[in-house]
Amino acid sequence: MALCDYLISEDIAGYDCDNPMVKGAKANGLIINKADINMSGVTYDANNPFKITALPLNTDKTAYDIVQGGKTPYTGTQQELQEGTYQNTITNTVQFVILNHGNSTAQQIFALMNGEFVVVLQNNNNTYQVFGLEAGLRASAMVRELYNDDTLAGWLVTMTEENAAKGNLFIDAALYETLKGE
């Protein structure tokens, strides 16, 4: 079945007893400059257009760790349907706090303010979700409040990808580990 058939191809269970949903994400993820991805080499599973099978980086480029501590890492990360005139899309939002302040962090803050990124997060049900691959994640809000108890005076960063056609993209654990090692 082609992706654009817009036909359901299997039962939609309200609950999967063998693989139940678990809210939240693990603390460790990856952030990649979108320009560092060899987009012509990105491939998808022939039977599942939402599963990425190859996500190659350009020569001498790397995926960087993004770590979010606390009991609820990446609070504010969400996906939302955007109604369109001819086709609906997804808006992906990834939110994290930078609890560091100094010269090297200032450089990273500047890059986040102006760049385009892809983020991979491991959900608590052990799926690896990719945000930003289609339209790129860009900073949509960055706030540093000196007396904020939640952020401990760190930067609360909100990155948004608008108009993602598929929206729900995933990789497997092996590809995640490959990216992490590059």
Domain that holds residue 76: 3-181
Residue at token pair 């939402």: 50
Average pLDDT over residues 144-168: 93
Strands 89-98 and 78-82: antiparallel
Residues paired with 52 in a beta bridge: 44
CA 141/CA 69 separation, integer angstroms: 20
Lowest mean pLDDT among 1-5, 36-40, 88-92: 1-5
CA 168/CA 51 separation, integer angstroms: 9
Domain count, the chain: 1
The model carries a pTM of 0.91
Q: Which range scores top for mean pLDDT: 10-24, 102-116, 165-179? A: 165-179
